[in-house]
Amino acid sequence: MASIDSRIHFRDVARREAAAFDELVNTVARLTAVEKKRPLSKAEAAEKARAETIIEEIGKSERNNNKAVEVCDPLFVATRTLLNEQAMLVPELRSHKNGRLLFDQPSHADAQSGQTKGSSGGESPYSDDADITLVGLSIGLLMLEAAEAPPVRIVPQATTRTGATVAAGTKGNGSTLYPDTRHPNARTFTREFFRALGEARSYFPLAEKVLTILAIEGDPDGRRGADPQCGAEEFARVMRGLADANVSDEEPQLRRKVNEALDRVQNVGGDDEIGDSIIDLPDLEEIVDENIIAENVRAMGPMIVSAMFDELKVFQVVDRIVEQFQQGMLPIGPGRAGKALYRYWREAPNRMSEQERRNFASITLGIPGGNPNGMINSEFNDLWLRFVSSVSSFIRQNEVDTLLRSATPSPISHQQVRKAARDLAANLSLHGYGMAHFAAREVQSQIKFMIDLLQDPEIRGSYGARDMWQVVDQVATYELGGAKTSSRYRTLATCGTIITAWLANNVARINRTTGPLIDIDQVRNPDVAENHKATRNPTDYDLVNACELWLADTATSDTRVEEMAQPREAPQMTSKPIPIPALARDMLDGIGDIGFGLGGESRSAFARNGAKAGAY
């Protein structure tokens, strides 16, 4: 069998790199256009700076003949880092050029053995068949499993080795691209990587022979003509097909077997006889990930905070303060606070009105007061409380089992919690489509502005308040008919943000049918970094803590928690909004209740009616 041509190009590796670079360019262009209309938020400014820095570093590497060109595809960068750090490859992998793998210059002994071609700028495609096969197959399997790698970032570079960072406290030699090991995806990707690596190694030595055949078949100019091409994901699919058919590396008709597997992968023919097929149904859970859109779920965090601020009358308080300032009743000069109040008053026509906020709250959270003809999320309260109760019951039962060493199995399992999480995330995803996604960002921007305004020393001094919540309480009491307990709604707002962020960050875990959903060890022994922000990247401990706080602040009894933690049939939900004729919508609206608000009043009214309690 001929050896693998070191000039082989992995087509999909090159495509992913081009797509990743285009995304960086588009991010810079989009945020530059936004910056011309309004100041960027801190997150937007950081995102733009990151994209610009990465693009600049790639440009520098292209002009540097002493190092391999930087690449920005997170999947390739993370795979390269783990392969090199685990000493899987010698020489180490550095980069790729249009999908052609580039390794370090080999040692003198390797060079004497003729294992290298090329010699400049770190672009020496090492011709070891096993290394090329291992890298290509591992990346292909990760693509096949849709593994989500952590984003790349700029780090100090070790010597001139592309993709290698220096040890902590050591001075580097320039910069390089490296995976963000602090990102939540880093731990998950590491597990996916070693799973793919183990599967790839199990296919050797058959995999080397198969890649040789695929490289010849993918040569655009015939055998040994132009640089051969192969798809890494296609390579992985072929290997799985051959493994399912129990084809070994000793197969005398291996080329024919490879071409048959390749035809099935590429769906060539299509007239195979049914009798030749085996009964091997696909795992349907592998195709449900698009039912839950992470960004749609994440958008619900600001909507929950907005609902809590509405309960506290924060929006009305700020409007009343602006009105007093406009009438000259507020002793504030032309300083920072005065400019902010004037800006808030001037931008009123472009800001979301109270009724528009209520409409979006009804669409996303099922709170009464919105447009009755709109798409109302009537299942939100029930699904929310079921998930929060399931998490709480699961953790409580595990703690009791640990203390008592009980042989009785826990009544709440990982799978019951997973079902509650999947039902809630699917509901939030369904009602996060359309304009609600943009409304959440606008509401978030308005909330941040109001917090900065109410925390201003001049504003607090005008009302004799020590913090913004005393300002809200005072204005609400004297001007708006009464104040509510701010600590309760602040806690609920924070907990709601943490829970929705956890659901959005863990869509892959929620969609899996096996494996633990919540890491009990992390819950018992939380390892939280100083710069950790629970509302953005919550851990499993943050989730459990938020669920317990939510139940405590809403005064949900243990009996109610146990009842809601029991599994129920999921409500009928589509994976995305489906247009319904007006007549049918009217009939559906007349069937029953359309949901309850986020305040405590709705719960008491609901309890008085003798029905099941809502989520609060």
Listing DSSP states for 374-442 in one string gives: S---TTHHHHHHHHHHHHHHHHHHHHHHHHHT--SPPSS-HHHHHHHHHHHHHHHHHTT-TTHHHHHHH
Pairwise CA distance, residues 548 & 532, whole Å: 20
Q: Note the pLDDT of residue 376.
A: 81
pLDDT in tens, 18-66: 999 999 999 899 899 988 888 888 888 988 999 999 999 888 888 888 8
Low-confidence winner among 81-95, 98-112, 488-502 (lowest mean pLDDT): 98-112
Indicate whether 152 pLDDT > 80. Answer: yes
85 burial type by CB count under 10 A (0-12 exposed, 13-18 middle, 19+ buried): exposed
Pairwise CA distance, residues 75 & 139, whole Å: 8
Place of tokens 């001139």: 160
Pairwise CA distance, residues 500 & 440, whole Å: 13
Average pLDDT of the segment spanning 512-540 = 79
From 458, 461, 483, select the one nearest 317 (Cα to Cα): 483
Q: How many residues does the chain have?
A: 616
- Could you write out the DSSP letters of every residue in 312-325? TTHHHHHHHHHHHH
Q: 524 by DSSP, 3-state: which?
A: helix
Buried b (16+ CB within 10 A) or exposed e, 230-269: bbbbbbbbbbbbbbeeebeeebeebbebbbbbbebbeeee
The model carries a pTM of 0.50
Q: Note the pLDDT of residue 524.
A: 80
pLDDT in tens, 532-551: 788 888 888 899 999 999 99
Contacts of 614 (CB under 8 A, 6+ apart): 381, 382, 385, 595, 596, 602, 603, 606
Average pLDDT of the segment spanning 439-454 = 88
Handedness of CA 147, 150, 154, 159 (dihedral sign): negative
Pairwise CA distance, residues 351 & 474, whole Å: 25
Q: Note the pLDDT of residue 108.
A: 42
Radius of gyration over alpha carbons of the chain, in Å? 29
Low-confidence winner among 130-139, 219-228, 411-420, 430-439 (lowest mean pLDDT): 219-228
Indicate whether 193 pLDDT > 80. Answer: yes
Q: Note the pLDDT of residue 52.
A: 92
Q: Note the pLDDT of residue 418.
A: 86
Q: Note the pLDDT of residue 194.
A: 92
Question: How does the average pLDDT of the chain come out, rounded?
Answer: 79
pLDDT in tens, 207-254: 888 888 888 776 665 555 557 888 888 888 888 888 888 888 888 888
From 232, 272, 46, select the one nearest 141 (Cα to Cα): 232
Contacts of 497 (CB under 8 A, 6+ apart): 301, 302, 304, 305, 535
